[in-house]
């Protein structure tokens, strides 16, 4: 089973590739539309600014492929960190930017009640996650497992039923989404040790069943 990791110039993809390979997947890192079309599952990773990420996807001609040929065709797609945020309608990071519009919702800055300790932004480190769906990404994982986060912005899905996991950093926020065949995590499963590998393995099993 071939998994394609989308290479669109937004950060380090090595760790995602290593983790999926470790789990036995046949992994290809590419921005070639043909490769993405042929893959069994597609991962949209990414670190960086929302506007820049969308600009790169458009330049490479990948925005319509992700939206129309992968998400709309109910093919397995996993967004990680910025890759999760790009799936939504729009973001207020450095202005107003249109996203892929695959999952209805907005991206906004994390807004803890004050910037005093312990609620600094960016939210960096290991935080606990409460799963609101337990048959997808979090299948078989212990309750309240910790994952590694690095971000300043959060997703607000329009439909509550799209939320799969929640975390808290001064405010409670959605940190995982499951919307049909499109799943996503705000944290970095590839950097979250055993819990992260278990979550990625759940996605690989889902992808292979599609």
Partner 1 sequence: MLARRIIPCLDVRDGRVVKGVKFQNHEDVGGIEELARRYAQEGADELVFYDISASPSGRTVEPEWVGRVARQIDIPFCVAGGIRSLEHARARLFGGADKISINTPALEHPDLIDALATEFGSQCVVVGIDSRVIDGDWRCHKNTGDPSKTSTEHRKTLDWIREVVDRGAGEIVLNCMDQDGVREGYDIDQLAAAREACSVPLIASGGAGAREHFRDVFEQANVDGALAASVFHKAVIAIPELKSWLSSEGVEMRV
Shorter beta-carbon distance to partner 1: residue 48 or 136 = 48
Instruction: List the one residue out of 170, 12, 32 whose CA is nearest residue 83.
Output: 12
CB of 100 to partner 1, least distance (A): 21
Between 70 and 175, CB nearer to partner 1 = 175
Q: Which of 31, 56, 81, 178 is catalytic?
A: 81
Cis amide prior to 118 (ω within 30 degrees):
yes
Whether 143 is a known active-site residue: answer no
Angle among Cα 124, 127, 132 to the nearest 5 degrees reads: 130
Question: Is residue 190 annotated as part of the catalytic site, yes or no?
Answer: yes
CB of residue 125 to partner 1, shortest distance in Å: 5
Binding site for partner 1 (CB under 8 A): 11-12, 14-15, 18-19, 22, 47-49, 115, 117-118, 120, 122-128, 146, 148, 150-152, 168-169, 188, 190-193, 196-197
Cα distance between residue 77 and residue 68, in whole Å = 12
Distance CA 136, CA 140 (A): 9
Catalytic center residues: 81, 188, 190
């Amino acid at each position: 089973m071939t998994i394609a990791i989308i290479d669109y110039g937004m950060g380090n993809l090595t760790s995602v590739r290593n983790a999926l390979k470790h789990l036995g997947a046949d992994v290809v890192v590419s921005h070639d539309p043909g490769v993405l079309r042929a893959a069994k599952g597609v991962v949209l990773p990414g670190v960086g600014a929302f506007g820049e990420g969308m600009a790169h996807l458009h330049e490479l001609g990948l925005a319509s492929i992700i939206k129309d040929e992968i998400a709309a065709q109910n093919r397995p797609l996993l967004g990680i960190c910025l890759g999760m945020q790009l799936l939504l309608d729009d973001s207020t990071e450095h202005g107003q930017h249109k996203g892929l519009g695959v999952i209805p919702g907005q991206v906004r800055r994390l807004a803890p009640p004050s910037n005093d300790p312990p609620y600094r932004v960016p939210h960096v480190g290991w935080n606990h996650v409460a799963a609101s769906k337990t048959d997808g990404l979090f299948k078989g994982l212990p309750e309240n497992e910790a994952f590694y986060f690095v971000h300043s912005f959060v997703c607000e899905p329009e439909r509550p039923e799209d939320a799969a996991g929640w975390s808290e950093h001064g405010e409670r926020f959605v940190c995982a989404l499951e919307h049909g065949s499109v799943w996503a995590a705000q944290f970095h499963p590839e950097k979250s040790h055993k819990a992260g590998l278990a979550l990625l393995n759940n996605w690989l099993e889902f992808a292979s069943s599609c």
